[in-house]
A and B are shown apart, each in its own frame.
Chain A
Amino acid sequence: VKGGGSEAMNDRLKILAVDDEENARVMLKQLIGMMGHEAVLARNGLEAVALFESEAPDIVLMDVMMPELDGFKATARIRQLDPEKWVPVVFLSALHQTGSVMKGLDAGGDDYIVKPVNLSELQAKIRAMQRVIVLQRRLAEERKRLEAHLYRAEEDARLGSHIMDRLTSKAGLRDPALQYWSRPLQRFNGDLVAAARTPGNVLHVMLADAVGHGLPAALNALPLADTFYGMTAGGFPLKRIIGEMNRKIRELLPRDRFVTATLASFDPYKRELQIWNGGNPAPLFVDAGGRVGEIGSANQLPLGLLGEGGAEFQPETIVCREPGQLVMFTDGMCEARGIDGSYWGSAGIRQVLSGASHAERFDRVLAGFESHLGGQALQDDASLMVLDVSLQAPKQVYDPAPAADADAGWKLQLEFGAQELRKLDVVPILTMIVEKLEASDGHRRQLFTILSELFSNALEHGLLQLDSRMKSGCEGFEAYMRERAVRLGALRHGWIEVRLERSSVEGKPAILIGVKDSGPGFDYRAIDFEQGANHTVPYGRGILVAKTLSHELRYHGAGNAVTSCYLLGEVS
């Protein structure tokens, strides 16, 4: 018999030895101790059951013939205790009892040794069982570690989902002009859909696709959500939002983690559709006649790869003369492989679009996608967005306007010099001011629209002397915007004054807006106010929109000063 103590602590077993003969117990205890294990001794079956419960041994050596409770019955009771681990029971029985050994194995024993016990044999059996027990212990530890790990991962994922949901399921996505669908490959979506309206009621939408999928991709898309919603609420134009998102991704993410994105905006008053695409499949436009074509031809590098310059951030502007649908999607959709291994492609989507009616198009594209996949799993995050371009004047959703206090009164006057006009984005500043007014949401939007239209007119025509007629046609618009940037950069003289006054008109609460510029003015009598905002020439619309929203709008003097009177009553 080899000396013990060589077993690692982890491999040390607790062995319950049960025998009614003292000599046998002493011998077993010695053997167990020599093997480096711990012995627990019982004199009969009853003691064995009690010690099994209190000591939780790893192996039981069980004599068969004992007073009180014999080895078989004790084993049967032990088996009923049903511990979580496997505990082998070895019977020690005299040779003449071998017939009943079978009965013992039936009672739940695992092995037997014929008495008188051969020490080498017992030692060998204990070693064999020890190997199994040690393996079992390691597995149990592994399982515990895995369970803890899984639990932590679940908790992390739950937190991630919560944040992601908060950032992505914004109310803006429930816009009546919008339908969208997005499905992640894994739990987290690397595609991000976002939509919100500016204070001036311009709808901004974004469809972004971060490199890869799962949590890392979703993390990459996160900084975009905040920027998009924050800047849209601040009334910033798409160009500035795109520039800021590009900056953020460059700053936060490693170089190989860029984000492809399509951004679009629709101004329901001016009927201007703006589109910018950085690395997503080209968006499609379905016109009133059901014809489908690509739109926004000037594709750009994805967000995070663009330079610091501004030209790449400039979206293309299209003045819509008829209603239609803008269809945007990520590559997960057009690059999905079908059962036959073919890609669906933009062509597949175009085919479905052209065969469907206006109302059905969104659903038909989804159905077409499903049938292309033919029951196969997704291969990438996939998203679809359809923006309705309607020429109907929008019905705004207002909070019920609380009756404004007719006695309230204040006056605010701001003057912007050439330097401020060059450097500041004045419109968001005006937004902030309008935000602070006590008016309801609906009023704020309309006030914002009036203010920003009148301000843009003063700047672009009064100071920069740009001619609106340049804007006709796509290229015209771009040329106009370029020229605007050049002239603004060179502006050294001039000013614009903005005046806001809380007042009352005909006994009703009102806000008076005055905008005056240092320019030479213009022939305001030539504008056909009667035609309303429904005329389709691409210029002069701003003033008409402001006029429609005002109780009264009047130009003064040479045409370099304008006042609008806006009533704070119920919004009609």
Chain B
Amino acid sequence: MQINVNLQGGKAVIVLNGRFDFSTHSEFSSCYSAAIATGSVNEVHVDLGKVDYLDSSALGMLLLLSERAKIANKSVALLNPNEMVAQVLARVRFDRIFSIR
């Protein structure tokens, strides 16, 4: 999986594509760690628009991201999930933990 991070003012947008699972772990965590560590960033967005599948490890990674962001006092939003991904997020009630747009 190719992960891109775009900085747009106070926003860091992490753009994922393809299958979001455990094999993405180290790259994804270094991306969000860098985003959170950037002083000018106060919102981290994860763009799931091109993700066609995510498994439970991916959900775990998103939780870790939210935890880190909370400590750094930054907000997290999940963007553009497709139907399949939205279904999984709804099933585990991640709407209670994240803002999903």
**Which A residues fall within an 8 A CB radius of B?**
209-212, 255-258, 260, 279-282, 299-302, 305, 331, 335, 343, 380
A258 pairs with B91, CB closer than 8 A: no
Q: In this assembly, does B27 line the interface, its C-beta being within 8 Å of a C-beta of chain A?
A: no
Q: A212-B22, A255-B67, A305-B97 are in contact. Are A260 and B92 (CB under 8 A)?
A: yes
User: Can you report 18 residue pairs joining A to B where beta carbons are below 8 Å apart?
Assistant: A209-B56, A211-B60, A212-B56, A212-B57, A256-B59, A256-B60, A256-B63, A256-B64, A258-B60, A279-B93, A280-B91, A282-B91, A299-B90, A299-B91, A300-B93, A302-B92, A331-B56, A380-B55
Minimal beta-carbon separation of A501 from chain B (angstroms)? 50
A257: chain B residues within 8 A (beta carbon) = 60
- For B51-67 the 0/1 string (1 means CB < 8 A from A) is 00101110111011001
CB contacts between A and B, total, < 8 Å = 52
A256 pairs with B61, CB closer than 8 A: yes
B96 pairs with A255, CB closer than 8 A: no
A301 pairs with B93, CB closer than 8 A: yes
Minimal beta-carbon separation of A431 from chain B (angstroms)? 33
Given A279-B91, A282-B91, A380-B55, 16 other A-B residues pairs in contact with their CB atoms under 8 A: A209-B56, A211-B57, A212-B22, A212-B56, A256-B57, A256-B61, A256-B64, A260-B92, A280-B91, A281-B91, A301-B92, A301-B96, A305-B92, A305-B97, A331-B88, A331-B91
B91: chain A residues within 8 A (beta carbon) = 260, 279-282, 299, 331
Minimal beta-carbon separation of B40 from chain A (angstroms)? 27
Q: In this assembly, does B84 line the interface, its C-beta being within 8 Å of a C-beta of chain A?
A: yes
A335: chain B residues within 8 A (beta carbon) = 53
A299 pairs with B93, CB closer than 8 A: yes
Q: How many interface residues does B have (CB within 8 Å)?
A: 19
A343 pairs with B60, CB closer than 8 A: no
Minimal beta-carbon separation of A249 from chain B (angstroms)? 12
B56: chain A residues within 8 A (beta carbon) = 209-212, 260, 331
Please measure, in the bound complex, the distance between the C-alpha atom of A192 and the C-alpha atom of B25, giving whole angstroms: 25
Please measure, in the bound complex, the distance between the C-alpha atom of A435 and the C-alpha atom of B99, giving whole angstroms: 50
B64 pairs with A255, CB closer than 8 A: yes
B22: chain A residues within 8 A (beta carbon) = 212
Please measure, in the bound complex, the distance between the C-alpha atom of A242 and the C-alpha atom of B96, giving whole angstroms: 19
A209: chain B residues within 8 A (beta carbon) = 56
Task: Please give me the residue from chain B that is nearest to A343 by CB atom.
Answer: B84
- Selected from B63, B64, B90, the residue in CB contact (under 8 A) with A305 is B63
Minimal beta-carbon separation of B95 from chain A (angstroms)? 10
A255 pairs with B92, CB closer than 8 A: no
Minimal beta-carbon separation of B53 from chain A (angstroms)? 8
A256: chain B residues within 8 A (beta carbon) = 57, 59-61, 63-64
Please measure, in the bound complex, the distance between the C-alpha atom of A148 and the C-alpha atom of B91, giving whole angstroms: 44
A211 pairs with B93, CB closer than 8 A: no
Please measure, in the bound complex, the distance between the C-alpha atom of A488 and the C-alpha atom of B56, giving whole angstroms: 39
A300: chain B residues within 8 A (beta carbon) = 93
Task: Please give me the residue from chain A that is nearest to B96 by CB atom.
Answer: A301
Max count, chain A CB within 10 A of own CB: residue among B55, B56, B84: B56
Please measure, in the bound complex, the distance between the C-alpha atom of A299 and the C-alpha atom of B61, giving whole angstroms: 21
Minimal beta-carbon separation of B85 from chain A (angstroms)? 11
Enumerate B43-101 residues with CB–CB distance to A below 8 Å. 53, 55-57, 59-61, 63-64, 67, 84, 88, 90-93, 96-97
